[in-house]
Structure 1
Amino acid sequence: MKFESQRLKCRYFTELDYQLFCSIFSNEQVMKYAWIDKIENEVGMREFFEGFLNHDDRINRNNSYAYAVFLREEDIFIGFADIVIHSLNSNGGCGEIGYFLLPQYWGKGYATELAHSLINFGFTRLGLHKISARCNSNNLKSENIMKKVGMTKEGELRKVRYKNGVWDDEKHYGILIDEWKE
C-alpha cells in the first residue's frame, strides 16, 4: 500500500532501503525526543529494521504499516512514517501515527503534510475510527503538528520517557473519524 500527498510519496521499506532507514534511526538530532535512543550497533539496527518490513499488504512484525517517505517530484528520501495498529475489527479500530524526518527537511511543512496523509490513510484505507499520536512533552514542534492536524489533547503521562538520565512526560493526542469528517 502506497500513498501520496501534494509534495510527498510514501511506500513500504524494502531490503534495499536499509541505509535510508539507518540514516533516520542513527541520527542524534532526529532521535532527540524519540522514545528510543539512536541505534549505533549494527546487529540491533538490522533487527530493528527487519521488524518494520511489510510484505504485500500485511502488517509487519511491529504491528504497523511502515513507510519510507520521499519528496514526490525529486524522489529524495526524507524520512520514516508508520501507523501502528492497536486494535481492528469490523466496526473500525485504533491506530497511532508516528514519523521522523531528516533535519534538513524540518520547518518546511512536510511533517504536517505527512501527519495529514497518515490520518487520511488510516481513516479511508484502513477503516480506523480513532487515530492517536504522542510526543515527548518537551517537543513543542511535534505537539503543534498534532494540533494543526485537528487532534485533541487527551492527556499527559508523567515521567514515562527515560532518556539521557532524565525522566520526561509524554503528551497524548487523538482524533476520531467523526471529528475528521467535519
Structure 2
Amino acid sequence: MYNLKDLHFSTERLYIRPITVNDRQGWLEGFNNRHPSQYRHDKGKVNMDECDKDWFFSYVKNIQNLIKNDDTYIFGLFLKNGQHIGMADIKILSRSDFQWGECGYFLHNQFWGNGYAYEAMHKIIEQCLDTLQLHRIEAHINVDNEPSKNLIKKLGFKYECTREKFIYEFDEWTDNEVYFINLHNERIIEE
C-alpha cells in the first residue's frame, strides 16, 4: 500500500525507517551490546546466535511483506551516525470505518535515559496519523510498566481502560492498560 521510501522519517538526532538487509551488522551490535536486564520489562541481553545472514534476510523480507500487505509497519531506530538503538511498530487493527492501529516500541537498554524513545515515537505517531491515515492509535501497556506509561502520556495519549488477563507474558495472563490518541485528541505535545 505504501512505498518503503514514504516510511523514512528523521528527527534532530534519529533516522526512522524500515530495516534493510544492509542493517544486519548494526542491528546485531545493538542487541549484543545490551546491558543485563534492569527491571521486569527489560529483556536485557538476548542470545542472537540464530540470527545468521539467511535468518536476517528472511526477517527483512517478512517486514517488507507486512508493510506491503498493510498489516504491520516495523521501523528501525537509528542515531544519525547509523547506530541501531531500537525498534518501533504500528500494527493495523482495522481499516474500513475505523482506521485503527496499535503502537509498540523498545530501545536497547544501553540507550535509555537520552530521550530517544520520546523523540522516535513522537515522530512515528505524528507520521502514522498523517501518512498512514490512521484515526486512532492505541498502546497496550503492562499495568506495572511505569516508564512506558509515562512516555505514552507525555506523547498525548489518554487512558481508556484496563483489560484483564489480556496478554500471556511472564508465564501468566497479565493485565494491560489501554491508552489511545486520535485525530480529535490534542495533537502530540511539541517540545
TM bracket (short chain): 0.7 to 0.9
Q: Which residue of 1 aligns with 2:9?
A: 3
Alignment length, in residue pairs? 175
Deviation at 1:159, TM superposition (A): 2.7
**For residue 95 of structure 2, what is the aligned residue in structure 1?**
88
For residues 100 and 17 of structure 2, the distance between their equivalents in structure 1, rounded to whole angstroms, comes to 21
1:82-121 → structure 2 map (5 Å cutoff): 82-89=89-96, 93-121=99-127
Q: 1:31 to 1:80 in 2, by over 3 A?
A: farther
Identity %: 31
CA offsets per residue over residues 138-163 of structure 1, 9 Å max, x none?
Answer: 21100111100110111112233333
Name the structure 2 match of 1:175: 181
How far the C-alpha of 1:21 sits from its partner, in A, is 4.6
Q: Give CA-to-partner distance per residue, 1:121-176, whole Å, 9 cap, x none.
A: 11111111101111121211001111001101111122333333344221111011
Unaligned runs of 5+ in 2: 1-6
Which of the pair is proportionally richer in strand?
1
TM-score by length of 2: 0.74
Structure 1, gaps ≥5 residues long? none
2:130 to 124, 128, 132: 124
* 2:55 corresponds to which of 46, 51, 63: 46
Query: CA RMSD, aligned part only?
Result: 3.3
Identify if the C-alpha distance between structure 1 residues 161 and 29 changes in structure 2 by more than 3 Å, giving closer, same or farther: farther
Kindly name which structure, 1 or 2, has the bigger radius of gyration based on alpha carbons.
Answer: 2
Counterpart of 2:77 in structure 1 is: 69
Q: Residues 2-41 of structure 1 correspond to what in structure 2 (within 5 A)?
A: 2-18=8-24, 20-21=26-27, 29=37, 32-33=40-41
